[in-house]
Amino acid sequence: MPAAPESTKAPDNAPEWSVAELAGALKRTLEDRFGLVRVRGEVFGYRGPHSSGHMYFCLKDRDARLDAVVWRSAASRLRFKPQEGLEVVATGRITTFPGKSTYQIVVEQLEPAGAGALMALLEERRKTLAAEGLFAAERKRPIPYLPRVIGVVTSPTGVVIRDILHRLADRFERDVVLWPVRVQGETSGAEVAAAIAGLNALPKGGPIARPDVIIVARGGGSLEDLWGFNDEAVVRATVASAVPIISAIGHETDWTLLDHAADVRAPTPTGAAEMAVPVRSELVMQVAGLASRLEQGARRGVETRRRDLRGAARALPSPDMLLAARRQRLDLASARLPPALLANARDHEARLRRLADRLGRHSPRVALATARARLDALAAKPGPALSRLLAERGRRLEDLAGRLAVGRLTALRAETIRLERARERLAALAARSARALAGGVERREARLSALSALLGSLGYRSVLERGYVVVRSAEGHALPRADGIASGQALELEFADGRRRVTAEGGGPGQRVKRTGASDRALAQPSLFEQ
């Protein structure tokens, strides 16, 4: 065999390494040489956290690839979660994995590489949450017009809380519950979400009252400064809130995902305070104006109903007019009843007479006389035949006489019964007519009494019973206003129990009157039409 080249021969004094020793030495060399580094690259091969909670992916650019791992303890502190294809800047330590003879970076911090990446991540997150319906307009609720308690989620040391409190004091001072949070940094989003949930969890009747509206506020800043309000936990806490939320993040041109999820977006924290409460002075003036309009409307309504009542009272007919037609019908019915009863009795009497005449023409005496005449005519015939014939005819005559007698008695009895039933029916009809007439009269009297009571309750005399007085001139005209009464004018006052004549003294509303009747003294009250 040819000898190996001199350069490939290992020196006899070279130390021997085990695989583990060499891997450990390489690991220490890399960690000592590089230490903490920041690496920029695109996330590749990320499939979500492992079942152990660790995250594994790669950082790559156009020419190389670097394995990356995020331990579970560091994953919970990351502001941004790795996303496939997102360009990030990873901060961590370079180390090796002896089990595969590879080197990797143990990531401790992760952030998007520049504003462009942030905007891309923000837009992707916005589309995802919008697809779930979290930004839908129909789920947004109106803000209470005048909340009793206002919750504020912001930094307790910034100028934002002072601006909100100052604006609330200027417009309409309300109780404020402040939940202090960090408005910038890695824990900002989690603290804001916890604050919203905590304010919703406050009991309504507890020592710290549950707010009626929540203001989440922060001053202006860059996209990175406001990133905590783009956190998904903040959006979901806002949507789950039972209390309406006003977002006031940054300036008017700054938009966060919280602004899309909140019920109302304010351009500034001061604008949020203005949306939360109205101006007290304007509200007082508005309520006073509405009260005045309500009072005037009530007065006009009373006056309108009073005029309508007067018109209805004038148009209401008197009791005599209501009963006149029915009384006339009753009188006509009463006048027609006796002749009708008499005519009915005469008709039945004539019918009975005709029946009696018919019965008289067919009486047994007439039949017997006819039979005797026929018997005398047959007397000249032979004796035996005549005797037999006479005997037979005699029997027939006796039978006929008996039948005629029975028939006559039966007919008389039936006719008597029919006449009795006719009389009973006539009496029943007369009784029913009398009862119907009495019932109609009673119902009309009851209705008349009800109408009279209604007229009494709606008339002005019932008002006089409560202490009011109707003022009339000497000619009997009602005087509804005091400015139409001259000093020394003779007046007539109508009380509930009578009238008195007086003479007016002085002038103007509320003037005293001098009594000229039997009473010792009287004060003129406003007329009924002035109340």
Instruction: List pLDDT tens digits, range 415-427.
Output: 888 888 888 888 8
* Whole-angstrom distance, CA of residue 97 vs CA of residue 27: 8
Helical (H) or strand (E) element with 44: strand 36-44
Tokens 């006819």 locate to 370
Tokens 């009863």 locate to 341
Q: Give the up-direction half-sphere exposure of residue 73: CA atoms within 13 A in the CB hemisphere.
A: 1
95-103: long-range contacts at Cβ-Cβ below 8 A with a sequence spacing of 24 or more? 95/27, 95/30, 95/31, 96/23, 96/26, 96/27, 96/30, 97/67, 98/20, 98/23, 98/24, 98/27, 101/23, 102/67, 103/30, 103/66, 103/67
In terms of DSSP H, where are the helices of 66-141? 72-75, 115-131
User: What pLDDT does residue 45 have?
Assistant: 86
In sign, the C-alpha dihedral spanning 268, 273, 278, 282 is: negative
- Report pTM: 0.42
Residue 164, phi then psi, degrees to nearest 5: -65, -45
In terms of DSSP H, where are the helices of 362-382? 364-377
User: What pLDDT does residue 515 have?
Assistant: 45
Q: Which residue positions in the chain have pLDDT lower than 50?
A: 1-4, 510-531
Answer whether 364's CB lies under 8 Å from 401's CB.
yes
